[in-house]
């Protein structure tokens, strides 16, 4: 469409918005007005403040239309934002979806199937975590590529959100769940180069990662954590962020890393690589004072201690890793590369 000539919305766009409105339950205690007007109206609880995060999901960069199930694309799109909320101990308030679709995608039954699958993928995760879709925007994509941007709003008790900057020397370092599974599953997908049929949400760490909202909220409520971040780019990269923000250094114990079963099947060096640098596990990485009694699991998710924070002199690396043979070496951030960078 010519940018200079603003015309009425194409019928396809209106039908799509109607499809979205019908797919998502238009209720939620904090949604005074959802999809259908010029703005949504939200009523957050008065004693809480609002946290906001936004994430792009771009075809061929974050997902492949020919390899990923459409529901997995939708799921992962929302999971990334939910994981950011989880990392700060926040509770979802509302989600907004901006969608650019290739012209004609809505016109073919194959395209329609893709859109339905994508919306269902968002929906089931949104329902599970009470993150109502309260609006968005829809446009034709300038290229033959699907582009989706999700904005998530959450709330947390005023002044109490978990941050990256609260860790101290002496704090213990923990992770939730297990590491390396998403990387192992993605590597297998790219190696097979065949569309995946993964539709079950269980045990698919790459296709259907589970954001740790209940853990984050519990850490905040019970004041268990001094700092937290979610593992989106890989443990080495995200732990470096936490160390920089808190001005401390980390020493982690390779033997203590909880490997996902899909990673544990790999050769030892590959498994370690997946756990340290793999990315997209969407587990939480957090610290707690050495005197805090940490439960072995929170909300059914195992909690594993992987190391300790120390004072950091200017010349020291952010992370050292203790190998099983007792040797220590620097761990450089080597996290997630997008699909196209491979």
Can you give the binding site for Mg ion, defined by CB under 5 A? 38
The sheet carrying 147-157 orders its strands as 48-58, 147-157, 91-102, 133-141
Q: How far is the CB of 12 from ligand ADP (least distance, A)?
A: 12
Partner interacting with residue 138 (select from ligand ADP, Mg ion, none; CB below 5-8 Å by kind): ligand ADP
How many other CB atoms are found less than 10 A from the CB of residue 327?
Answer: 8
Partner interacting with residue 288 (select from Mg ion, ligand ADP, none; CB below 5-8 Å by kind): none
Q: Toward Mg ion, which CB reaches closer, 38 or 47? A: 38
Q: How far is the CB of 108 from ligand ADP (least distance, A)?
A: 19
Burial class (CB in 10 A: 0-12, 13-18, 19+), 48: middle
- The kind and range of the H/E element at 21 are helix 11-23
Which positions touch ligand ADP (CB under 6 A)?
17, 20, 35-38, 97, 99, 133, 135-138
Q: How far is the CB of 63 from ligand ADP (least distance, A)?
A: 17
Q: Which residue shows structure tokens 């808190």?
A: 246
Q: Which residue shows structure tokens 């009694």?
A: 293
Q: Toward Mg ion, which CB reaches closer, 31 or 229? A: 31
Partner interacting with residue 325 (select from Mg ion, ligand ADP, none; CB below 5-8 Å by kind): none
Beta bridge pairs of residue 319: 250
Cα R_g (the chain), whole angstroms: 21
Q: Toward ligand ADP, which CB reaches closer, 75 or 249? A: 75
Partner interacting with residue 259 (select from Mg ion, ligand ADP, none; CB below 5-8 Å by kind): none
Q: How far is the CB of 118 from Mg ion (least distance, A)?
A: 24
Partner interacting with residue 37 (select from ligand ADP, Mg ion, none; CB below 5-8 Å by kind): ligand ADP
Q: How far is the CB of 340 from ligand ADP (least distance, A)?
A: 25
- 249-253 and 319-322 strand pairing: parallel
Q: How far is the CB of 144 from ligand ADP (least distance, A)?
A: 19
Q: Toward Mg ion, which CB reaches closer, 36 or 45? A: 36
Q: Toward Mg ion, which CB reaches closer, 71 or 138? A: 138
Q: How far is the CB of 20 from Mg ion (least distance, A)?
A: 16
Q: Distance between the two ends of the chain, CA-based, in angstroms?
A: 34
Partner interacting with residue 97 (select from Mg ion, ligand ADP, none; CB below 5-8 Å by kind): ligand ADP
How many other CB atoms are found less than 10 A from the CB of residue 7?
Answer: 7
Q: Toward ligand ADP, which CB reaches closer, 6 or 197? A: 6
Partner interacting with residue 133 (select from ligand ADP, Mg ion, none; CB below 5-8 Å by kind): ligand ADP
Q: Toward ligand ADP, which CB reaches closer, 119 or 184? A: 119
Cα 270 to Cα 191: distance, rounded to the nearest angstrom? 15
Cα 147 to Cα 58: distance, rounded to the nearest angstrom? 5
DSSP readout, 64-120?
-TTTS-HHHHHHHHHHHHHHHHHHTT-EEEEEEEEEEEETTGGGSHHHHHHHHHHHH
């Amino acid at each position: 469409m010519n940018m200079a000539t603003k015309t009425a919305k194409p019928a396809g766009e209106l039908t799509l918005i109607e499809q979205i409105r019908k797919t998502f339950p238009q209720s939620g205690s904090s949604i005074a007005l959802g999809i259908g007007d010029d703005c949504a109206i939200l009523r957050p609880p008065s004693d809480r403040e609002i946290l906001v995060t936004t994430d792009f999901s771009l075809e061929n960069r974050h997902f492949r239309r020919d390899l990923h199930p459409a529901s997995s694309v939708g799921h992962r799109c929302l999971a990334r934002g939910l994981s950011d909320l989880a990392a700060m101990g926040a509770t979802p308030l509302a989600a907004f979806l901006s969608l650019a679709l290739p012209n004609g995608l809505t016109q073919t039954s194959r395209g329609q199937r893709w859109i339905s699958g994508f919306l269902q993928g968002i929906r089931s995760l949104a329902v599970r975590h009470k993150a109502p879709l309260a609006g968005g925007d829809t446009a034709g994509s300038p290229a033959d590529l699907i582009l989706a941007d999700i904005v998530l709003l959450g709330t947390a008790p005023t002044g109490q959100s978990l941050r990256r900057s609260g860790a101290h020397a002496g704090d213990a370092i923990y992770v939730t769940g297990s590491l390396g599974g998403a990387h192992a599953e993605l590597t297998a997908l790219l190696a097979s180069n065949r569309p995946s049929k993964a539709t079950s949400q269980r045990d698919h760490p790459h296709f259907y990662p589970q954001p740790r909202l209940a853990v984050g909220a519990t850490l905040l409520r019970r004041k268990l954590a001094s700092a937290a971040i979610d593992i989106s780019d890989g443990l080495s990269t995200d732990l470096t962020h936490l160390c920089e923000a808190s001005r401390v250094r980390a020493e982690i114990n390779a033997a203590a890393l909880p490997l996902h079963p899909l990673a544990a099947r790999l050769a030892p060096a590959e498994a370690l690589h997946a756990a340290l640098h793999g990315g997209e596990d969407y587990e939480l990485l957090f610290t707690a004072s050495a005197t805090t009694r940490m439960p072995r699991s929170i909300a059914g998710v195992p909690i594993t201690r992987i190391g300790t924070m120390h004072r950091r002199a200017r010349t020291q690396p952010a992370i050292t890793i203790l190998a099983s043979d007792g040797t220590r070496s620097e761990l450089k951030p080597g996290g997630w590369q997008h699909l196209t960078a491979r």
